[in-house]
Amino acid sequence: MDKNGKQSANPGDAYLVIRDGKKWSDVFRLIPGRTVTIGRSPTNMIVLREDQASRQHAEIFYSQGHWYVRDLGSRNGTAIGEDRLSGDHRLVPEDIVSIAGTQMTFAEDLAEAYQENSGKNRRGHKPMPPQETRIGLEFDGSAPKTPNSASGVTEPQTITHRRQRTRFIQPEDDADDGSEVNSGSGMAAARICRLAFSLANETTQRGIAKTAMDSLVKETQVDAGAVMLVPRHRRTTVDPEKLEILAWCSTERPEYQRVSTFLAETALRNGEAVLARDVQDDSAFGFRDAAGTIHATSVICAPIRLANRSVGLVHLYSTTQKVLNPEDLEFTLAVAETIAVAIRTRQREQKLVEDLSKTKNEIDFLRSQLSVESEIVGSSEAMLRVHQQIAKAAPSRATVLVRGESGVGKELVARAVHFSSDRKSGPFVCINCAALSETLLESELFGHERGAFTGATERKAGKFEAADKGTLMLDEIGEMSPSIQAKFLRVLEGHPFERVGGSRAIQVNARVIAATNRDLEASVREGTFRKDLFFRLHVVQIDVPPLRNRPEDVMQLSEHFLQKFKSETGRKIEGFSPQAVQQLKRYRWPGNVRELKNVIERAVVLASGSVIELDELILTKLTTNTESQFDFGTIVEPYHPQTLEEVERRHIEATLHSNAWNKSQSAKILGIERSTLDRKIKKFEITRDV
């Protein structure tokens, strides 16, 4: 309840009407539960531009059903009217909060705030409201007088043309001439503010048009009307039949009657708003029915402008004794401009969404073209540990050493580290140290000048330069020769380097990720790998386990590769047969993920049916590196007490299953006769799974 005993419509609803210098510039809505900070810092909700304001000057907060203002120890203080603020002050309607050159009027009813601000307020200050802007053509023309059917008197028909902005919306650069706005204009401006708040919550153009149309019907002397836009596939049109009606209403007639060609052309081509009254005999402003009778007694048509281009219009007309007046024209102009702002905001949001989607699609396409794997497949506990190590290593700038057997996916881990780091926008460069001779490796790493050696016909930048501000992966680092190791160590220590045959020092900023399947510690003991380089590389280590130590990932990887090669070849393969699944799980995979990928690709190409059968999985008989230093946590079955007969039965059963119950092949593997195998099957009651 305010000082006049009035109860606010919604408890807690309040506004700050802000005056910047000599003009009212903004309206800020106060929401209960949200503290509003005021000051010069851009982090405040209300930012002041005056140097006299402190960075954190004051705050307004809601407590126990009332709004309060509090000074935050500012340098020049906060005032309520003429009184300097001390402590918390409870705000009541008409209170003016003064900070530096900015004044904010507290109001619980926005319309009353504008009305009260049109004259002297209780603090004795006379605020300056927005001024009317008249730019371009505006005239009232008198036509021959015609009898008025309602009153029997003659009145001139009146046509008013208006260009540019309404006086309800003041441009930022308008000077203050000291004029005041009347009570009606203040209330209309308050209604425009409320409409702007409502349109901000609409997410579609039709929703914007519907909300605006409802406001026009409520606030003007109108019987029917519509909001129309030029279709998006057309840049412009003045044909009323081609305009898209987003929202319409009709209170007296069964349906809305379209705007005339003259009015549409005036609004869309000339950018003029038109108010025509007492136009019973002019079809340019109204419309005729089958009998040729004009039904519109007064008409308003206002353009909707975006970037100085008319993209639509608001058409209103009266068919009863209601007469549209110049205030209705001003209000319609303001609504049209508010619609334009809301539509422009929605279009920008839509364009941002479309651009984001387009950019994402382009990135996905480029990654697929470059065959960049962006995910590490596998959900076993061992791979979860790898993911955790990647997440910890990625944010740092430390050198990473990735260790694991050949084919486990060390490069994929290196890519994951790069794309999870702050260098992901930079290049990812990979080089295999084992694939090049010593001379070529030095040239590839550090580059060379023209004429540095036979065949060096042009200057070439090395991989280090190519990886500047990105990541350089050195695969098979253990194969690097001792002489290159020394030069490589200096670069790792942050020293500049020179191209082969060059003399200019080059400094780069590249993160190094090294990978190896060798025992570097043994190489250091043998003297083939520098100890200081080993310690420089061995900052963060990520161990990638072999595939046989994470059997739960085998089928997940198999399905991943099956879908990949199905897409590439167009084969319609549904999956794997039970025997093939059993073999995939049992096999030890000496070649790790690389071997599994090749096996699945070969099976997809050779498959003769809708599923991959056991005989279509071509596996090797190579032994695994179980005894190597990379066999992290080799799986050993727990001991269970059992007799030799039980062991024999289980072994025979497993052999039969692995050979799809081919008894001749199984007997050959077991080293017994076919008849002996039949007797043992009968003895142990071994049955074939159906």
What kind and span of H or E run contains 648?
A: helix 644-658
* DSSP H helix total and E strand total for the chain: 18, 27
Mean pLDDT, rounded, for 169-177: 45
Contact 117, 105 (CB under 8 A): yes
Under DSSP, the state recorded for 374 is -
| Amino acid identity at 78 | T
Per-residue confidence band for 79, with pLDDT thresholds at 50, 70 and 90:
very high
User: Which positions ≥6 away from 197 have C-beta within 8 Å?
Assistant: 29
Nearest-angstrom CA–CA distance, 537 and 674 = 58
Note the pLDDT tens digit of each residue in 328-342: 888 888 888 888 888
- Does 180 score more than 60 pLDDT? no
Question: How many other C-beta atoms are found inside a 10 Å radius of the C-beta of residue 78?
Answer: 23
- Does 214 score more than 60 pLDDT? yes
Q: Which residue has the higher pLDDT, 260 or 575?
A: 575
- Does 634 score more than 90 pLDDT? no
- Does 181 score more than 90 pLDDT? no
Nearest-angstrom CA–CA distance, 235 and 217 = 29
Strand ranges for 41-195 from DSSP E: 46-47, 58-63, 66-71, 79-80, 83-84, 89-90, 96-99, 102-107, 140-142, 146-147, 154-155, 158-163
The percent helix, strand, coil of the chain (3-state, each to 5) is: 35, 20, 45
Q: Measuring CA to CA, which residue among 330, 261, 260 is closest to residue 295?
A: 260
Note the pLDDT tens digit of each residue in 511-531: 999 999 988 999 999 989 999
Under DSSP, the state recorded for 32 is T
**Residue 290 has what pLDDT?**
47
Per-residue confidence band for 278, with pLDDT thresholds at 50, 70 and 90:
low
**Paired sense of beta strands 471-475 and 511-516, if any:** parallel
**Residue 22 has what pLDDT?**
58
Mean pLDDT, rounded, for 212-224: 84
Question: In which residue are the tokens 């949200």 written?
Answer: 34
The average confidence (pLDDT) of the chain is: 78
Phi-psi region of 200 (alpha: psi -120 to 50; beta: other; left: phi over 0): alpha
Note the pLDDT tens digit of each residue in 82-97: 889 988 999 998 899 9
| Cα atoms found within 13 Å of the Cα of residue 381, Cβ hemisphere only | 3
Note the pLDDT tens digit of each residue in 94-133: 899 999 888 899 988 766 655 544 444 434 343 333 333 2
- Does 655 score more than 80 pLDDT? yes
Contact 394, 421 (CB under 8 A): yes
Contact 469, 423 (CB under 8 A): yes
**Residue 155 has what pLDDT?**
36
Note the pLDDT tens digit of each residue in 465-512: 888 889 999 999 988 888 888 888 888 888 888 888 888 888 888 999
DSSP alpha helices (H): ranges in 460-530?
463-466, 482-492, 520-526
